[in-house]
Amino acid sequence: MYLKENVKVIREYFGKTQAEMAEILGVSRGSLSQYEMMESAVKPGLTALINLENFSGIPIKDICLVKIDARYFANKNSNVVQEPRAVYMKVGEQEVLERLKTIEDFLQKVFAEFKRRDF
């Protein structure tokens, strides 16, 4: 998983300080610092990930599972915006529940595939 390094890469790509990105994610600067520390066990919650997706245009699954680097941003097929979205919405409880259901469905498919392949 690339989650921790990707949070920092995305923040730096959009030229945000930890304080600015923490506000966007709806977390404290200290929490964001912990997210970015590779040795820390602290990870962003779903609401913070949805806020990051809304801000950056990078899907949550990519934030969690794909190494985001210069090649990722250069890929013309990606949905990443070149500038951060000027207007982004912090998510409400209903959107979090809907996203959680989508993620749960995705994970069930992944686990079923692993089970099918007998890993």
pLDDT tens profile 82-109: 555 444 455 566 776 777 778 878 778 8
Whether residue 30 contacts residue 76, with contact meaning beta carbons closer than 8 Å, is answered with: no
Number of domains in the chain: 1
Tell whether 96 is covered by a domain. Answer: no
| Residues in the chain, pLDDT under 70 | 1, 76-93, 96, 118-119
pTM of structure: 0.65
Tell whether 66 is covered by a domain. Answer: yes
Tell whether 63 is covered by a domain. Answer: yes
Res 18: pLDDT:
95
Tell whether 102 is covered by a domain. Answer: no
Q: Which domain holds residue 47?
A: 3-89
In angstroms, the CA 118 to CA 7 distance is: 32
Res 64: pLDDT:
87
CATH of the domain at 22: 1.10.260.40
